[in-house]
Each structure stands twice: as structure tokens, then as C-alpha cells.
Structure 1
Amino acid sequence: MKRRSKFAAATIMIVMVISLSLNIVFAINQSAIPGSEQDPIVSKSYVDAAFEQLSSKVQTLFDELNSKIAEQDKKIKALEAEIAALKSGTAVSTTPSGSGGEQKPADQTTVKGTVNVAALNLRSQPTTSSSIIGKLYRNETVTIHSESNGWYKVTTSKGTQGYVFAIYVTKKK
């Protein structure tokens, strides 16, 4: 019986030493990333959580890309409309008809400007609904007298005075 007691005691001691060793190793590896070389055992819950986190990031990136694609599609359609309008001989503004965009104070000094589109309508009034009194073409120089609501009051090289939408004329420095 004494032998059995000694064997049982030795077995219990060995189990305790192994248990203590495992606890120490576990305590040391608390900072280890599951699935890494320090902690090669990965639980299903960890994999599920990591997968969900990465899936969320991928979905966010996917949504951002779709949003950017939609914006680019809108820009492409606007440019296609502008090209079609220019081919037909009329300039198209990106702002609603007659609105002219932001209100800016009038500039009273005269400045030279250059037409930066293939063809530009010279109008009698600073609205898209006013009559067209002439045409200006790319690289044609005009004298800019004033600016109001996104429109320039200009004089052409032939002396004709009228209005053009400001985004289609580049001021010279």
C-alpha cells in the first residue's frame, strides 16, 4: 500500500508540475496573437471575429469605390452633354440655366481673357436664355470689363460687347 501511495503522490506531483508549467506558458503568451507562431492554436470564435472585421473593411472600401464610380459617371455624362452641345454650336454651363452660380462682387478693372472651349456663345444679357449675338472660338482674346454672378461682360477683338459664362474664359495675368 505504501508503494501505491508513493506512486499516487508522485503522479499528482508530476501533474501539478505540468499544470504549473502550462499556466506559466499561457501567462507569458497572453500578448501573443492567436494563430501566430507564439500561439498556434486558433479558436473558431477568433476566426469568425477576424473574418467579420475584415469583411466589414472590405465592404466599406467597396461602398466607397461604388460612390466614386457613381460620381465619375455623373461627370462623364455632364462632359458628354457639353461635348454634344459644343458640336451643335451651343455652350453648356454646369450650373442651372440663368443662375450663374455664386454671386461675386463686380470687378471694375479691364483684363484680357482667352476663350478655353471650342465655341462659346456671346450673349446680349448674362443669362442662358438671352439672345446670342455672336460666337467666340478657342484661344480668341477678349477684354473683360466686369464679372457678376459667374458671367463676364466682354468686348471682342471686333468691338462687339456682350456676356459670356466666366468658366469658359481664362483670365490672362
Structure 2
Amino acid sequence: MKNQPDDAPDELQPLRPDLLVTPWLTIHAAHPSLEDPGWFAVSAQAIFSIEEQRYVITGVSIERPIERGGVSAVDLRDVPVMTLVADELARRVHVRTAHGVAGIDLTNSASLADLSREDLRLFAARKYSLARATGLAPLRDLAEYLGVSQSTATRLVASAREQGLLD
């Protein structure tokens, strides 16, 4: 497996004016985790479609040793490929600031409690945009991530829209 597809762009692509994403992703993950006796080894490749402003899966490989039961059709439906892609992407996004471009990890929620209301709106706008780009339900993803109700996430996104942070 190659690290980068032949037709993938080389530079970061804008998802929003302040949010840049990698043009291609190759992920390798264990689902649900290596501790689970029913785990799968999952590999996936995705390319960012500039026209569609979303990631398109270009390949998936799911493996489980025969002694663990192999892979069935039911198992294929249960592996959340887009969620795994979204999780990897959240660790590899870049933001454009007045000081340049910097990589950030949107999976690190430890400091969310310390964010100002304005910074929380900006975080919500970025997380919402990433969920949309990976085909997840953006409000549900944001609500689950923040540990709030979907109506609270909806109000937060509405507030981000009012501030011009989302279309």
C-alpha cells in the first residue's frame, strides 16, 4: 500500500478559511480496540474532494484472524469506517492564524472546560465542519463529543452561525 495516492494533491486543502485539512488519509486502526476479543484490523484510504468539500473513501481493508472468527457480512456493516476516518482527521487538522499555520488535535478535549464562550463557538464550528466533511451527522457528533444534548449542540452551532463562523 502506498503512502499517498497518485492523484492526491500535495498541499493542505481549505475546509474553512481558518481550517486546513490533509488532502489524503491512510489510517490503520483496531476496532473496537485491541483489548476486545472481537477486534478487527482496519485500514482505509480517503482523499479530500475539493469540489464536494468532503472525504471520499478510496479503499478499505478489514481483517480478523480465522481463530477469532474471520470477517462476516454482519461485521462489515458494523465497522464504522467514516468514524475512524473522522477520528484520524481530527488529529491531523491545521489552523490558519495571524501567526501562520499550525497543526492541532481536535480529539484532545481536556481543555474544553477552560475555553471562553467565543473559543467554544470556534471549536464547535471546526468540529462541525470536520464531521460534515467525513459524512457524519455533525450535530450528533458534536453533541456526543462535548457530552451535551443535541439541542445544546444545536444552540451552540446556531450561535457560531450568528457570529459568522459557519455558513
TM bucket normalised to smaller: under 0.3
Structure showing greater relative contact order (alpha-carbon pairs closer than 8 Å, 6 or more residues apart): 2
More strand by share: 2
Q: Which has the larger radius of gyration?
A: 1
TM-score w.r.t. length of structure 1: 0.19
More helix by share: 1
